[in-house]
Amino acid sequence: MKTVEELERIRKQAQAMTRLREGKETTRIVVGMGTCGIAAGARETLSAIMDELAKRNIQDVVVTQTGCVGLCEQEPIVDVIKPGAAKVTYGKVTKEKARQIVASHIVNGQVVGEWVIASA
Amino acid sequence: MEPAAKSAGVCPAKVSEILAKYSRRPDALVSILHDVQKEAGYLSEEAITEIASGLDIPVSKVYGVATFYTLFSTKPKGQYIIRVCENAPCHVLGAKAIVEALEKELGIPMGGTTSDGKFTLEYTSCLGVCGVAPAIMINEAVYGNLTPERVPLILKEYK
Amino acid sequence: MEFYRSHVLVCGGTPCVLEGCKGVRDALIAEVKRRGLDREVKVVETGCLGPCDLGPVIVVYPEGTLYQKVRVSDVPEIVEQHLLKGRVVTRLVGEAPQAGVVKYEEPTYLGVQERIVLRNCGVIDPESIEEYIARDGYRALAKCLTEMKPADVIEAVKKSGLVGRGGAAFPTGLKWSFTANADADQKYILCNADEGEPGTFKDRLILEGDPHSILEGMAIAGYAVGANKGFIYVRGEYVLSIERLGKAIEQAKALGLLGSNIFGSGFSFDVEIRKGAGAYVCGEETGLIESIEGKRGEPRIKPPYPGTEGLYGKPTVVNNVETIANIPPILLNGPDWFRQFGTERCPGTKVFTLTGDITNKGLIEVPMGITLRRVIYEIGGGIPGGREFKMAQTGGTSGGCLPKELLDVPMDYFTLPEHGSALGSGALLIMDDSHCIVDIAECFMRFFEHESCGKCTPCREGTARLHEIVAKIARGEGKPGDLELLDELGSVMQVSSLCGLGQAAPVPIKTMLKYFRDEFEAHINDRLCPTGTCGI
């Protein structure tokens, strides 16, 4: 290695790769993966979110799953929690809607109001 | 699992090859002894003489080093060397009972080798796995959280 | 580089390896693939996570859930429930203080801990140089080579107040300055990884969990003192450490972080591994040097000290693994940052290994000066089986034994010696009230008799006689005057032995005589063991 810049470049790349272990405050997307959620297609929803994030090279978002929250008829349910903002819960999130949520809410900060079922 | 002892000795050509790998440097003696023992299972008189003449140092010096370190042996040992830790952290958590169980199961005292040449039982320095004491090492495999009841089950894997 | 929504870290430290973590890792990889999650979930083998008696341990991120005693048969459930459905498998989380999830970031076990030395252990994949670099790895080296003069580096280490963590507590910066000031065509950096003190396994877990931190620290030391060659002397028993170090050296060379002209600075540095062959005394720095030179590892007469006349007669810095692991963060963050941890006289943290009769056995890193009471009861979870604390031996078998009256003494390199003990390597052996003092003393003395190298008479004869006398007392053959004899012999050994081995061998017995004399007397005078456990 001949320059410090070279080290810096590797560091930035590698940090993106390990960021989710650092436990820092970041945007979280939570997908309901209870039996009802999976039955309603939450697997595809989750995959679509992952795919869309990867396509857009977004690496500072944490994607996790949760169990059934008791709103089974609204599944698949997706929560978006941005640091310092209220939790936004979307219902009946198909894979197409999921991609839209990433584009609109995550990237541009625009909540997709018509699909929101709760906000707290 | 690599058997600890393959044959009674090691051929001079092999010793020569190992010496060449270290450019016949006397300061590589510890590494050379490691390699020769790995090959032969122990450091025989012939091997020690061969190493001494190859490095152009006295036999007494090679023998002195070979007998200083506990990982080296100048006598043949069993195929599986069972090293038992009886240092304080293992002692506190019941290593004595493990020693007794091993002696009973193998029918040999500490320091002995079974008549079929399969097992050698000896004490070791601290294995550094005190978080799961008491512990033993069989060749390169370490076993922790031992109870006398587990001893026969572990030995079964090697019998 | 791939982006994953979840990382599953499997502890690959030796204690977990021997409890079967490899099988668990393989099963996880297979199951994750089978469920089609392999593009979303990454399985990483990492260094020791700390709670060794709970192995195999795995941590699932981003939640930071710590699962313990995981078996291969548990893997499908973890994948199905947690990785797929996001439900924590509570039965594998262990006894959480409050119901629900134990987060790796905040369990009581890690509550009081400060991680400098273990900053990467259990967080990164030790076989990935990229993950080390992601956590600011090699930035300290870059800073030293491009922004600092060698003298500035030594000054920073001096200012930090770092003292040697192998046990002798010699100021590291001062040690470096001796070698820096020596005039020679060749100088060496030696990393002492011959961790033989019973009850100590911190160096092993640092080497296994974060090998690059040692390479970086050694390179910085090399730059500071003008050495271009380093050796790591590792115990022959530490198979995994040797393997991981070997890989790390290859990776660092491939990226040009070791080798010639690092960062275009003109500074070159290479590291080689030397494997020990089983001799406790080689942990003594001159014994270690003799061993690297291919001789019996018998300590040399000092002076001259290695700083000016060491390996092959050349000026040589010998530092312990933990000492070296402190170097990169000190240089990167500055001495003032380091001094905010620990005490005025003894800044920084200390890695302790908790063993014996304690609920949470394993590895912890806490600020220097913490009390034994906090370590045992706040971090260690107290004494198991409803028994009472009897004594703790600090600093390994060559350290002293402290009774419950001394539970509140701050543990650092200067305070413990005032009570006849030592901080040493940081091994803490906790013993409950079921143990007989004489039985334990015999175990300690047997160790020193075996490990004495025989070069000097006080140690060769002294360790044998100490063991002989204690063994007699244990058999019920002790006689009046034995205890006085032990005291006197110990004092002679402390002042006349050639190296630390003979000087430290009487320490445990002297402290036991000081704090538990009545128990020895009961064995001699009444032929009776007060605990009724030693079979007298």
Q: Do C190 and C284 belong to one domain? A: yes
Q: Is the pLDDT of residue C2 over 70?
A: no
SS (H, E, C) chain B: CCCCCCCCCCCHHHHHHHHHHCCCCHHHHHHHHHHHHHHHCCCCHHHHHHHHHHHCCCHHHHHHHHHHCCCCCCCCCCCEEEEEECCHHHHHCCHHHHHHHHHHHHCCCCCCECCCCCEEEEEECCCCCHHHCCCEEECCEEECCCCCCHHHHHHHCCC
Q: Do C385 and C329 belong to one domain? A: no
Cα three-residue angle C322-C323-C326, rounded to 5 degrees: 90
Domain extent, residue C334, equals 129-339
Name C420's Cβ contacts closer than 8 Å, sequence gap at least 6.
C400, C507, C510, C511, C514
CA distance, residue C127 to nearest chain B CA (Å): 21
For the sheet with B136-138, list strands across it.
B119-124, B80-85, B136-138, B141-143
| Candidate from A70-84, C261-275, C379-393, C445-459 with smallest mean pLDDT | A70-84
Mean predicted confidence (pLDDT) in C225-234: 98
Q: Do C326 and C471 belong to one domain? A: no
User: Which of 423-442 (C) contact B at CB < 8 A?
Assistant: 427, 429, 431, 435, 440
Q: Do C453 and C425 belong to one domain? A: no
- Binned at pLDDT 50, 70 and 90, residue A58 comes out as confident
**Domain B80-156 grouped into CATH 3.65.10.10:** no
Q: Is the pLDDT of residue C95 over 60?
A: no
Mean predicted confidence (pLDDT) in C87-109: 51
**From the list B86, B93, B144, which residue is nearest C18 (CB)?**
B144
The CATH class for the domain spanning A26-119 reads alpha beta
Asked if residue C295 is part of any domain, the answer here is yes
Percent of chain A with pLDDT over 70: 92
**CATH 1.10.10 domain locations along chain B:** 12-68
Looking up tokens 């290479």, which residue turns up? C270
Name B46's Cβ contacts closer than 8 Å, sequence gap at least 6.
B9, B10, B12
| Candidate from C16-30, C37-51, C99-113, C470-484 with smallest mean pLDDT | C99-113
Is the pTM above the cut of 0.95?
Answer: no
Q: What is the pLDDT of residue C1?
A: 46
User: Which of 275-334 (C) contact B at CB < 8 A?
Assistant: 275-280, 291-298, 312
**From the list B29, B71, B89, which residue is nearest C198 (CB)?**
B89
Mean predicted confidence (pLDDT) in A81-96: 89
Last residue of some domain: C77, C111, C145?
A: C111
With an 8 Å Cβ cutoff, is A25 touching chain C?
A: no
Asked if residue C56 is part of any domain, the answer here is yes
pLDDT tens for each residue of C126-147: 999 999 999 999 999 999 999 9
Query: CA nearest C499: which of C323, C289, C230?
Result: C289
Do A17 and C5 make contact, defined as CB atoms within 8 angstroms?
no
**CATH 3.40.30.10 domain locations along chain B:** 80-156
Given a contact as 3+ CB pairs under 8 Å, which chains touch B?
Answer: C
Q: What are the extents of the domains in chain A?
A: 26-119
Do C139 and A11 make contact, defined as CB atoms within 8 angstroms?
yes
CA distance, residue C101 to nearest chain B CA (Å): 24
> Under a CB-based contact definition with an 8 Å cutoff, are residues C453 and C298 in contact?
yes
Q: What is the pLDDT of residue C112?
A: 62
Average pLDDT, chain C: 91
With an 8 Å Cβ cutoff, is C123 touching chain A?
A: yes
- Binned at pLDDT 50, 70 and 90, residue C113 comes out as confident
Q: Is the pLDDT of residue C404 over 90?
A: yes
Q: What is the pLDDT of residue B9?
A: 61
- Binned at pLDDT 50, 70 and 90, residue C98 comes out as very low
Average pLDDT, chain B: 90
| Candidate from B107-111, C11-15, C195-199, C356-360 with smallest mean pLDDT | C11-15
Last residue of some domain: C308, C339, C370?
A: C339
> Under a CB-based contact definition with an 8 Å cutoff, are residues C208 and C48 in contact?
yes
Sign of CA dihedral A14, A16, A17, A20: positive
Asked if residue C120 is part of any domain, the answer here is no
CA distance, residue B116 to nearest chain C CA (Å): 26
CATH code of C443's domain: 1.20.1440.230
User: Kind and range of the H or E element at C409?
Assistant: none
Give Rg (Cα) of chain C: 24
| Candidate from A105-119, B32-46, C48-62, C389-403 with smallest mean pLDDT | C48-62
- Binned at pLDDT 50, 70 and 90, residue A48 comes out as very high
ipTM: 0.91
Asked if residue C174 is part of any domain, the answer here is yes
Query: CA nearest C86: which of A62, A119, A61?
Result: A62
Last residue of some domain: C399, C432, C465?
A: C432
> Under a CB-based contact definition with an 8 Å cutoff, are residues C132 and C357 in contact?
no
- DSSP annotation of C402 reads E
Asked if residue C179 is part of any domain, the answer here is yes
With an 8 Å Cβ cutoff, is C61 touching chain A?
A: yes
Percent of chain C with pLDDT over 70: 96
Strands (E), C57-110: 58-61, 65-67
Do A64 and C63 make contact, defined as CB atoms within 8 angstroms?
yes
Length of chain B: 159
Domain count, chain C: 4
Name C12's Cβ contacts closer than 8 Å, sequence gap at least 6.
C21, C22, C25, C45, C46, C47, C126, C208, C240
CATH code of C386's domain: 3.10.20.600
Query: CA nearest C217: which of C106, C120, C291?
Result: C120
Percent of chain C with pLDDT over 90: 74
Mean predicted confidence (pLDDT) in C459-463: 97
Q: What is the pLDDT of residue B12?
A: 84
Q: Do C133 and C107 belong to one domain? A: no
**From the list A4, A62, A66, which residue is nearest C263 (CB)?**
A4
Q: Do C318 and C406 belong to one domain? A: no
Q: Do C232 and C309 belong to one domain? A: yes
Asked if residue C380 is part of any domain, the answer here is yes
Q: What is the pLDDT of residue C402?
A: 96
Name C17's Cβ contacts closer than 8 Å, sequence gap at least 6.
B142, C240
**From the list A1, A14, A30, which residue is nearest C262 (CB)?**
A1
Q: Do C195 and C284 belong to one domain? A: yes
How do strand C270-275 and strand C229-234 relate by DSSP bridges?
parallel
pLDDT tens for each residue of B101-155: 999 999 999 999 999 999 999 999 888 888 888 999 998 888 888 999 999 999 9
Q: Do C334 and C363 belong to one domain? A: no
Q: Do C270 and C176 belong to one domain? A: yes
The CATH class for the domain spanning B12-68 reads mainly alpha
Q: Do C188 and C297 belong to one domain? A: yes
CATH code of C94's domain: 3.40.30.10
Do C256 and A1 make contact, defined as CB atoms within 8 angstroms?
yes
Ranges of H-type helices in C295-436: 321-333, 335-339, 372-373, 415-418
Distance, first Cα to last Cα, chain B: 12
> Under a CB-based contact definition with an 8 Å cutoff, are residues B124 and B66 in contact?
no
